[in-house]
Structure 1
């Protein structure tokens, strides 16, 4: 847990109010208290307040507290700051001139001498964050990775000036920063998401652009160029002239950028059109979206001093991220890919664009629009296996455009897909779980759904696949 005592000693002795006592909020409250701060903890949910009591934290109803006695409000990112309407506690803090921050801001205030790399965007954040951290670690650097990905910021180890924090940043977290300046800031891509919390797409982009605030010419802004919104962000940041900008792409050649063309990673930012690596040989980074992730990771790692060789060595040993196009098994020439994290059609499109001869398992609790947008990928799909409450609706959307079978449950779908793939004469068949749906109709989380897929695959792999249906 991060020691905040040096930072606390510089404050005026007022209380730190902590609103929201989930994992990150409770960690923040405990870290503050352990470091000698006066902490007022509150959660609108009784279960959260019970956790605070068990941690010996002082409970104070922030809906009716004395704001004159409060130094800072540390608010969990999941609590609305602006849209659809501010939480009443946030409104009171603003009215009383009390700053509102999240725990990532506290991390920065405690360890300002470390290097901070921040990654945001709609898709690819987690993979890019993990890839950067893996490359840096494999090169022998002192690294801590977390933020929106897994470990709360204040649970990370305390690094010195040689250390590097690699932090996935959500739009909610970025709204709650006030002094953190990222040494390297990555803006991957944008597609409409979380609009209920940001009002509209412009509000969403504005929140994401906070990642570049307070950067100077000594810092680096790395920006994806594979969607119109992000190209607009690049133009806006580049025109300020206050920070070094590096454009990246997974599919398009760029002047003075890092990009992938015909599977080759090319550096035109730190060198002149230098071929760096053939990404087609890296199993865990398939598809244009992962090529963009690789370009982003290369730009970030070069920006903090790694060599080309160190970066490529790290990429080649990257194990991938669970449930995100995770290679679960190769058996009898069939690849089994766990992409359970694909909970909407946009995410499933990324997987479908990465393979040929696909035996596609899809379904669950559908998002708006279902799978209508995925029809351009149907030529890659040999058959679809539909599960969950969306199965009938997806069957109607597919119509006669694609061979499909309603399977109901994942175990049935895996068995049938494996059998069909084994009997095919195609090259490199792939059984792909990329549901384009939430998991909540049959599983508590996409992680449990992905784990069940891998369990089903393990059972199949104990015998030749062609014997499954016999």
Structure 2
């Protein structure tokens, strides 16, 4: 745990008591703060009470007695409208913070010899893989890398700070919206495409949140920017004009005069006097597909910025085992292979898996994002059949009408069973792909639970007696 400094003897309100909120509450207490915690969910309140955290109904509380309000990232600040707890804090002039900001202030207040290095990674797609990959490279090179933020453990639940540590943080746009004083030694923006637009009031607000990953960087820091989209290209140009930090463009689609890029699976370093071939990513089993080549370029760039040698970084790319729920091979039954891509919560993310597999039986659906699956129309010819689940099933069926066979399954269990049945009946090598292109919240708490359910259902198909016992 990282005890939060700066609030000793003061009372901090904490709203939202899931993973982030509970971790922050514990870290605030460890730093000497007093708390008033609340959640609208009764089960969450019960878990907090079981830990001895003081429950206070914040809807009835006097906010003038609070030094700050710590909110979980899911609490809306501005759009579609501010949450009531945000309105109450603002009316009382109380500062609103997130756990990443609490971490940043604690780092900034530490003695110089205790301050760790920080890598901050964001983007619409690929940030979880890049975060895990960079952590893998750093640890393989003998550094003390700790991974958290929007992946794995909440940042304040990681091991205490020391000067030799490197905190590798995946940051969502929600977290960045609540962060103002984080300074990243290596900051990565992989890509930007429309997502969470309702939360940010449109594309301009979403991009503004993502850009915050570069806040406070100065000379000696490194900004790594994906330039395979127009937004990234423009941002890279803007950062270059500031002429402070080191700028490293990355690409998985074109050669560049400077930066790091991958072509046909070969990763190149064009930051020196001549371009050097780094490694052949097509031979890296944990990094399949072009989208992963961009992730690899970003992680390689960040690793070098954090002191890893080029040779060590290249070796670690080849040994990366891959990330759960992102094109994760969860096994085969006969000639049918099952791929868990539950992390694909929008169309752009699903595109990455769909481009990597020539033909597949597609399980899709959930809570639909803006634009649905219409942007994937150029890939419909790869779909042997679509098995649709959740709230989006009806809309997706209309979108796919005439382009691919469709079956409305409703539940993930039914979709897995029917996709396997049809794939097995084909008599060919086949792939059943869970790449939902949707949020999970209509049927599952998060994409991880959805992916775990898929893995369990595949295991049950492989082991029918276990399935019967479970039923």
TM-score by length of 1: 0.87
- Could you tell me how far apart the structure 2 residues matched to 1:80 and 1:412 are? 38
Matched, 1:434 2:471: no
Tell me the residue number matched to 2:111.
none
Deviates further, 86-95 or 277-286? 86-95
SS where residue 67 of structure 2 aligns?
A: strand
- Could you tell me how far apart the structure 2 residues matched to 1:89 and 1:133 are? 36
Matched, 1:371 2:373: yes
User: Is contact 2:101-2:182 (8 Å) kept?
Assistant: yes
> Within 5 Å, which residues of 2 pair with 1:7-26?
7-8=5-6, 13-26=9-22
Pair 1:54–1:362, CA change in 2 (3 A): closer
Deviates further, 35-44 or 209-218? 35-44
> Within 5 Å, which residues of 2 pair with 1:427-466?
429-439=430-440, 445-458=446-459
Tell me the residue number matched to 2:160.
158
Matched, 1:180 2:182: yes
Deviates further, 368-377 or 193-202? 368-377
SS where residue 353 of structure 1 aligns?
A: helix
Pair 1:155–1:121, CA change in 2 (3 A): same
* Uncovered stretches (5+) of structure 1, i.e. residues with no partner: 464-470
Tell me the alpha carbon deviations over residues 104-138 of structure 1, each in whole angstroms, 9 at most, x when there is no partner. Answer: 22223334400111111111111111111111112
Tell me the residue number matched to 2:357.
355
Tell me the residue number matched to 1:244.
246
Tell me the residue number matched to 1:218.
220
SS where residue 349 of structure 1 aligns?
A: helix
Deviates further, 386-395 or 158-167? 386-395
> Within 5 Å, which residues of 2 pair with 1:291-302?
291-302=293-304
Tell me the residue number matched to 1:418.
423
* Uncovered stretches (5+) of structure 2, i.e. residues with no partner: 109-114, 465-471
Tell me the alpha carbon deviations over residues 143-166 of structure 1, each in whole angstroms, 9 at most, x when there is no partner. Answer: 111111121111111131110001
Tell me the residue number matched to 1:386.
387
> Within 5 Å, which residues of 2 pair with 1:45-444?
45-63=41-59, 65=61, 67=63, 69-112=65-108, 113-269=115-271, 272-329=274-331, 335-364=337-366, 366-381=368-383, 383-388=384-389, 394-403=396-405, 409-420=414-425, 423-424=427-428, 429-439=430-440
User: Is contact 2:366-2:443 (8 Å) kept?
Assistant: yes
Give the drift of 1:229.
2.0
SS where residue 26 of structure 1 aligns?
A: helix
SS where residue 29 of structure 2 aligns?
A: helix
Tell me the residue number matched to 2:469.
none
Pair 1:379–1:271, CA change in 2 (3 A): farther
Give the drift of 1:62.
4.2
- Could you tell me how far apart the structure 2 residues matched to 1:290 and 1:259 are? 12
User: Is contact 1:257-1:269 (8 Å) kept?
Assistant: yes
Give the drift of 1:56.
2.6
Give the drift of 1:173.
1.3
Deviates further, 323-332 or 273-282? 323-332
- How many residues are aligned here? 454
- Could you tell me how far apart the structure 2 residues matched to 1:401 and 1:44 are? 44
Give the drift of 1:317.
1.9
- Could you tell me how far apart the structure 2 residues matched to 1:137 and 1:111 are? 21
Give the drift of 1:445.
4.6
User: Is contact 2:347-2:438 (8 Å) kept?
Assistant: yes
Pair 1:402–1:63, CA change in 2 (3 A): closer
Deviates further, 302-311 or 350-359? 350-359
